[in-house]
Amino acid sequence: MKIKYFFSALIIAALAGCSDPDNNGFTQEQMLVGTWKLDAWYSDTPQDIDNDGNASTDLLSQWNGCYKYSTVQFSADMSSSITYIGPESNPKCPPGLLPNDNYNGLPWYIDNSYAEYPNGEIIFTGSDYLESYEIVRLTDTDLIIKGAGLLVNAEPDNSYYTDGYLRFTREGLPR
């Protein structure tokens, strides 16, 4: 359950992408399929998420949560999974989490029905909720989503309300 909330928050507010003219005829769903790694989390407004007294728009540099070191796999069957790629014995992770451990994420789909989101939005569905994230950009190599959610981790002190933009880069070759 914690992983599912993390995934939907990490994939905060808008995953999936623009219909870029260079998409070579692929749909957004087809472009999203693959493995993505978070490489930036930023905000227009400086925030102090680690409570060190220094606010910054670079939220990823302040975040020391377990799943900072993870990849997200979007599958063609609209399922997802998360793979932890961080160090062994990370005190910010649930006990027993090892590198390359893999967890099921949330089902997803892309919705292009709202004019205020010209690139669409990615929707994650859980058993009792639905989360959506605006797609800012989706190319063969880059995914930027925008939104807000709750990043839940094993310990309440390691959970964050998230806001801003998440940028992912594709791992490996596209499609």
- Tell me the pLDDT tens digit for each residue of 45-60: 898 888 889 999 998 8
Count the Cβ atoms, other than its own, within 10 Å of residue 16: 27
Q: What are the strands, taking DSSP E only, across the chain?
A: 34-47, 56-58, 70-74, 80-84, 102-104, 108-111, 121-125, 130-138, 142-151, 160-171
> What does pLDDT average to over the chain?
80
Percent of the chain residues past pLDDT 90, beyond the cut:
41
Identify the pLDDT of residue 161. 58
- Show the domains of the chain with their CATH numbers: 2-171 (2.40.128.280)
Question: 34 forms bridges with which residues in the sheet?
Answer: 74
pLDDT band at 172 (very low <50, low <70, confident <90, very high): confident
Least confident of 6-20, 25-39, 95-109: 6-20
pLDDT band at 95 (very low <50, low <70, confident <90, very high): confident
| 46 φ, ψ (degrees, to nearest 5) | -60, 140
- Considering the entire predicted model, what is its pTM? 0.78
Tokens of 132: 């959506």
Greater pLDDT, 68 or 3: 68
